[in-house]
A and B are shown apart, each in its own frame.
Chain A
Amino acid sequence: MDELALIEAARRGDVDAFNRLVLLHQDAAFNLAYRIMGEPDIAADATQDAFIAAFRKLHQFRGERLRPWLMRIVTNACYDELRRRRRHPATSLDDLPETEPASESPLHTAPENPEVQAQQRELSRAIQDCISALPDDQRVIAVLSDIEGYHYQEIVSITGLALGTVKSRLSRARGRLRDCLRAVQELLPAEYRQISSEQPQAVNIHE
């Protein structure tokens, strides 16, 4: 059953058809939520809320690709959770004990070397910390663009922001991340350790 048929069945109230769609998109949805929220449990709650909201709003889906439409709902669920946490600072992200994600193992890396795995997990955690340190608005754009890989126009569609706003927030987020990653450069792989205060070894063509 193709995705459109599943959507049509789900629209008519077929929960089993909707659950098949959930299984197809839940990894991407959780990734987005986790990178935005920074905590796996909070991200899981936001992801579940997003799928519940998607099921109830399925009648509004108008034929475009399901993934961007779903990511829009996940983003909004994360915004809602962030606003809730801002109103109740006691439960802010900084106060939560850091927990390792259930599975931080990258999908595309063969875990043959435990030391490499450990290094990778630590690097990912450091990067994630830098991402989490971003302002909420910049973080969402940076995750959508540089982690999820959406193009500018897709980000405009997902967030409803103007193109110029998306560009400026992304550039500022990248600048902050660049500065943050300088602090953890000792954790960086050798090829990334040049992100430092040193002058780059780039060749000067005029020399």
Chain B
Amino acid sequence: MLPPPTLPDRDLALLSAYLDGELTDRERQALEIRLTREAALRAALDDLGRTVALLRNMPRLKAPRNFTLDPATFTRRDPWWRRLIALEAVLQLSGALGTAAAVIILALAILQNGGKAGGKPASEVAMVPLETQTAIAILNAMPTSLGPAIEEKQTEIAYAGGEQFDSTLAAQSDYIARMTASPVVIGLDTAAMAPTLAGTATIAAALEGAADEVPPAALPMEEAQAAGAAQGIATFSGLPDQTGTTAQSEAESVPGALAPEATFREPPTDSPAPAAAFAPSATLVPQFTATRTLPPTLAPTATATTTLSPSATLLPTAPADSAERDDAETRAGESENDDALRLAMAGAALLVLSVGLFAWGRWRARAR
């Protein structure tokens, strides 16, 4: 037997594809024409066909054993430590921590903003009317011990019996200041004030030698009181240097302006005490005599509470330092607002990032 002619590789490829139906229509038609004309090609096609048939008829084998996996060896879940450092766990943990941190940051931002919005911490200055502050400032400027006492908004005018009175100006001034309380002495709406206090304020001012600083004309006092006050001032003008006798004589000339509410108690033995009595709120009797002890009977117990009326006219404009303080507080408030906003934005960004990381970690865990 002669060996068959060697089939060209190109024809072998055509025949192989033809057997599998992988030729295009054009290629198939061309090959079929050749097959009718070329016996060798037909023989080669037959050989190839039988070879493929033998292969396709090879027996199907059964698996010699089961290739199943041992569950104990091939548990899907990694060891706890590997799961812990797995990217999925790291992502979820960082996402959870970031979310918690973001919540805290946002809460801080809200609190910081809310604390500011709720109002500044109350300060003594803020709660005191502007006029009071101004009055206090003015009185503080006075070279007298009157200042410290006048700073108080509320003065308890009371004394127990047996209080010693010093004849010094300072003591007397302080005494009066305590009686009159605070900035009231500057002169305010007399309608809201006990006339006595106004008169007392005038006296105090005179004693301090600061009468010039307080234009009598500016004091909103009633005419009677003004006249009396003027007289009182005149009478007491020399008081600082006076001892009790002077006070006594001066007390006599105290006009009714200070009465009927003002009472200048004189030593009962010396002269009839004026009928004037202090307003119920005034409890101290100014003694401008030598040091003496007030009769216990004179010891008042009333407490004077003075308040300032917002309608005070004498007061100058708001002091510069107060305005500056307001501006500073406003700037501080704005700065705090900016900080709160920045904090809130940082918290929101961290929250979005953390939630994204957590979701990514969960997705990876599910994909595994």
Contact = CB atoms under 8 A, between A and B. Distances in A.
Tell me the dominant secondary structure on chain A's binding face.
Answer: helix
Contact of A200 (B37, B43, B60): B43
B56 A198 contact: no
Contacts of A206: 36-37
Interface in B107-165: none
Contacts of B62: 27, 30, 102-103, 107
A13 B77 contact: yes
Interface string A1-32: 00000000000111110110011001101110
Contact of A197 (B3, B15, B58, B66): B3
B43 A27 contact: no
A79 interface: no
Interface string B41-54: 01100111011111
A25 to B, nearest CB: 9
A178 B71 contact: no
Nearest to A31: B61
B51 A147 contact: no
B368 interface: yes
Nearest to A13: B76
With most chain B CB atoms within 10 A of its CB, the pick from A120, A200, A204, A206 is A200
B51 A178 contact: yes
A120 B60 CA distance: 12
A104 B64 CA distance: 10
A108 B367 CA distance: 41
A27 B60 contact: yes
A132 interface: no
Contact of B51 (A27, A104, A181, A202): A181
Contacts of A200: 42-43, 46-47
Interface of B: 1-4, 7, 9, 12-13, 15-17, 20, 22, 36-37, 39, 42-43, 46-48, 50-56, 58-71, 74-77, 367-368
18 contacts: A15-B75, A19-B68, A23-B66, A27-B60, A27-B61, A29-B67, A34-B61, A105-B59, A107-B61, A108-B60, A127-B55, A128-B58, A167-B22, A175-B12, A177-B55, A181-B51, A194-B46, A200-B42
Given A44-B67, A194-B50, 17 more contacts: A23-B66, A26-B66, A26-B67, A27-B60, A27-B62, A27-B63, A35-B58, A51-B68, A104-B59, A109-B59, A146-B52, A146-B56, A167-B13, A174-B12, A175-B12, A197-B2, A199-B39
Interface of A: 12-16, 18-19, 22-23, 26-27, 29-31, 34-35, 40, 44, 47-48, 51-52, 55, 59, 101-109, 120, 124, 127-128, 131, 142, 145-147, 149, 151-152, 167-168, 170-172, 174-175, 177-178, 181, 188, 192, 194-200, 202, 204-206
